[in-house]
Structure 1
């Protein structure tokens, strides 16, 4: 695949990826913000989540299909591309990284005139994407984003939706680049400096506790996948 020529607003990505980004100002600027500010492994992960979210919606053939069409495709894209935006320095505020990312997405949507109801859909999907059992039930968009995140980290959903081949295909265009270690290290690094970013019984808190138990550990954080085996999802 031939890589695109980067410009001030266009990441250097294969055309096969760029051609799937919604051709709207709100999504193109979101893509640029993510590319400029996120570590590359997390940026690639966020784009893969978007591709997988679209795949899930297509396979399900449920009422969530409106997220595949304009204007709601923008909501889906921004929920995915911003879901880990709290892991970048620009949005490293006092709240846990999920909330910081949700707030950043809401501000971006607001700056483009998106209604409060639609902003709330995206905010909820991002804020709860590491909250099992809640994200899956609170809204259709939150469920799709949560499931796409799990699928990118190798959850059984790959088998359920027959997506192993598709996941391998998008990982050629958007390499993983050890995203599990990168994301875990970023979340822990934030929490070490500001413990309030890792409240009790949260995914950041589990990562922080694992780090404090063995601060010399150099691999993927042992709690990255929670109680699941590595490769089986958060």
Structure 2
């Protein structure tokens, strides 16, 4: 793979970028795009590019849309991963993607905060979760040749705090949006109890400077 900071092309990609840019904060938008680039680097490292199930366009959709449930389109009626997956599925359906591809993207987004499950649900769910995780500092050795260029193009801008703010705000809207033991529910409870979450505290020691 000749890695670059180029997106795939086509009307769907344009719709994905427009939807995310117009509904999410800039730090969260940048995080979503970085997750795509990191997921591609992981795919190359692990030989996923040769897997028949690998699809760069679907990986772009799943990673860039994975936090759609934290943006202005989300109503806080379900946990943010599920609400974001529903919103993403509607967008993909509008652009005529086959039902099986829509379902794969839905699953990848809905499971991206579910360790031990996403990794066992196919290459798209695995790469989506791990690409997101790399943007939180996992597997930094895989991106050492590109991380500076990626971060210059899409800076962090205190991403973790911005993302946690958005997740917590939506989790507080209804019991269904912040159920016990969901990441949204736990971040909400940590903020209410301590004023800061473990995710934010961990960011202070992340290899990526926030």
SS in structure 2 at match of 1:114 = coil
1:205 to 167, 185, 202: 185
2:22 to 27, 36, 43: 36
CA distance in 2, matches of 1:202, 1:226: 19
**Closer, same or farther: CA 229–39 of 1 in aligned 2, 3 Å:** closer
Aligned residues: 204
Aligned to 1:184: 164
1:151 to 127, 134, 139: 134
1:41 and 1:177 in contact (8 A); partners too: yes
CA distance in 1, matches of 2:206, 2:200: 7
Relative to the length of structure 1, the TM-score reads 0.80
Q: CA deviation at 1:141?
A: 0.5
CA distance in 1, matches of 2:12, 2:45: 26
Q: CA deviation at 1:24?
A: 0.7
Aligned to 1:108: 91
The higher-RCO structure (CA 8 Å, 6+ apart) is 2
Q: How does 1:8-27 map to 2 (within 5 A)?
A: 17=5, 20-27=6-13
2:80 and 2:171 in contact (8 A); partners too: no
1:21 and 1:28 in contact (8 A); partners too: no
Task: Name which of structure 1's ranges 141-150 and 72-81 shifts more when overlaid on structure 2.
Answer: 72-81
Relative to the length of structure 2, the TM-score reads 0.89
Q: Which runs of 5+ in 1 are unaligned?
A: 1-15
CA distance in 1, matches of 2:174, 2:11: 35
Aligned to 2:197: 222
- The Cα offsets for residues 169-212 of structure 1, whole Å up to 9 and x where unpaired, read as 20111000011000001111112232321111111111011011
- The Cα offsets for residues 116-151 of structure 1, whole Å up to 9 and x where unpaired, read as 111111001000101111111112101001101110
Aligned to 1:4: none
Q: Which runs of 5+ in 2 are unaligned?
A: none
Aligned to 1:97: 80
CA distance in 2, matches of 1:119, 1:174: 27
CA distance in 1, matches of 2:203, 2:26: 26
Q: CA deviation at 1:91?
A: 2.2
